[in-house]
């Protein structure tokens, strides 16, 4: 699946580094929309991403408007606690762009209102405000990949070739 993770104005370098690792594992592209709450050279960002950065196709855009002006074709899915669909019931299409907002505010309200049918949420208790951004990305990105049959990913464990006797 041609999967793209779009982080709109991310603020915390450790979250972005963790998300980069998820992108590396899935073979997903990572789009960062400025302004960023950190410098891309930030040591916390690099540390959280460990040695996975060479496996990540990273694209940085000056604004959300400049991202849309690039004319990327595919399905745009907007993640929000206000979403009308749960992530597990949504039908992901290829190519897919998963949009996540900044940690303190989420995605811009005007963007969500324009795309209500493409707004997805992760179910949680009513008194919980939100999940950590990197956890939310992992949950939804893996669901999108799972729904496509995990294309291009290892489907067997490292020890699957060994005989297993549980008796």
Domain range list for the chain = 3-147
DSSP secondary structure letter of residue 117: G
pLDDT greater than 90 at residue 144: yes
Residue 43 has pLDDT above 90, yes or no: no
3-state percent helix, strand, coil for the chain, nearest multiple of 5: 35, 20, 45
> Considering the chain, what percentage of its residues have pLDDT values greater than 70?
89
Would you say 102 and 37 are in contact if contact means Cβ atoms under 8 Å apart?
yes
pTM (two decimals): 0.90
Say yes or no to pLDDT of 167 above 60.
Answer: no
* pLDDT above 80 for 6: yes
The answer, yes or no, to whether residue 41 has pLDDT greater than 80, is no
The dihedral of CA 150, 73, 57, 98: what is its sign? negative
- pLDDT, residue 51, reads 75
Share of residues in the chain with pLDDT > 90 (%): 75
Beta carbons of 49 and 21 less than 8 angstroms apart: yes
| Region of poorest pLDDT, from 44-53, 97-106, 121-130 | 44-53
- Give ∠ CA 141-16-57 in degrees, rounded to 5: 70
Which pLDDT score, from 0 to 100, does residue 44 have?
59
| Residue 97 pLDDT > 60 | yes
Q: 56-70, 108-122, 153-167: which has the minimum mean pLDDT? A: 153-167
Q: Are 16 and 38 in contact (CB under 8 A)?
A: yes
CATH code: domain 3-147 is 3.40.1280.10
Whether 59 shows a pLDDT value over 90: the answer reads: yes
Closest Cα partner for 29 from 60, 4, 54, 61? 4
């Amino acid at each position: 699946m041609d999967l793209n993770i779009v982080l709109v104005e991310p603020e915390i370098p450790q979250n972005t580094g963790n998300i980069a690792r998820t992108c590396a594992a899935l073979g997903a592209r990572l789009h960062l929309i400025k302004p960023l709450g950190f410098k891309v050279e930030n040591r916390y960002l690099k540390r959280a991403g460990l040695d996975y950065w060479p496996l990540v196709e990273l694209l940085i855009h000056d604004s959300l408007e400049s991202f849309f002006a690039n004319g990327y074709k595919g399905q745009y899915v907007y993640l929000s606690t206000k979403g009308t669909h749960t992530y597990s019931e949504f039908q992901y299409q290829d190519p897919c762009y998963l949009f996540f907002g900044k940690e303190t505010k989420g995605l811009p309200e005007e963007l969500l209102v324009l795309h209500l049918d493409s707004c997805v949420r992760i179910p949680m208790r009513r008194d919980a405000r939100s999940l950590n951004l990197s956890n939310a990305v992992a949950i939804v990105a893996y669901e999108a990949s799972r729904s496509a049959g995990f294309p291009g990913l290892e489907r067997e464990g490292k020890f699957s070739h060994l005989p297993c006797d549980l008796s």
